[in-house]
């Protein structure tokens, strides 16, 4: 789904489901699929850290949350449909923020590794190209 179609959908007032939003790969867009206070704290801290790691906004991510009454919430970060980070956190804002700082670093490393893998798969870089 391209940027033009996304803009058209938003201008038409149509809402996208979380599953549809996760399929959209727009560079620099960090999709927020959190529901609780701790999830929002995680998302906000993740965004702050991520902006320092990706200042040009090249990578789009989905930050999602699955709340569970006894366990807290399960936070996940996906890139191009691949799960890169997942962790249970309690319903505690400080814990959520600390986990988000760790998540941003780990996700950035995974995204960079993914980009290197995709470049290595490029036909011009096979063999002696690297």
Query: 93-120 vs 37-53: helix axis angle to the nearest 10?
Result: 40
CATH of 18-123, one of 3.90.550, 3.40.50, 3.30.160, 1.10.287: 3.30.160
The pLDDT tens digits for 23-38 are: 555 677 899 999 999 9
Name the token pair of 105.
């670093």
| DSSP assignment of 9-25 | HHHTTPPPPHHHHHH--
Single pTM value for the model: 0.74
The pLDDT tens digits for 61-110 are: 999 999 988 888 999 999 999 999 999 998 899 999 999 999 999 999 99
Domain boundaries, the chain: 18-123
């Amino acid at each position: 789904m391209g940027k033009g179609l996304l803009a058209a959908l938003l201008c038409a007032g149509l809402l996208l489901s979380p599953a549809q939003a996760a399929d959209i790969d727009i560079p620099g867009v960090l999709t927020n699929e959190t529901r609780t206070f701790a999830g929002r704290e995680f998302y906000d801290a993740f965004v702050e850290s991520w902006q320092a790691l990706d200042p040009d906004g090249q990578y789009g991510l989905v930050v999602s949350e699955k709340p569970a009454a006894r366990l807290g919430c399960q936070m996940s970060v996906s890139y191009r449909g691949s799960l890169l980070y997942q962790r249970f956190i309690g319903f505690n804002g400080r814990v959520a923020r600390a986990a988000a700082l760790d998540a941003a670093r780990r996700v950035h490393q995974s995204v960079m590794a993914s980009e290197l893998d995709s470049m290595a798969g490029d036909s011009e870089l096979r063999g002696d190209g690297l």
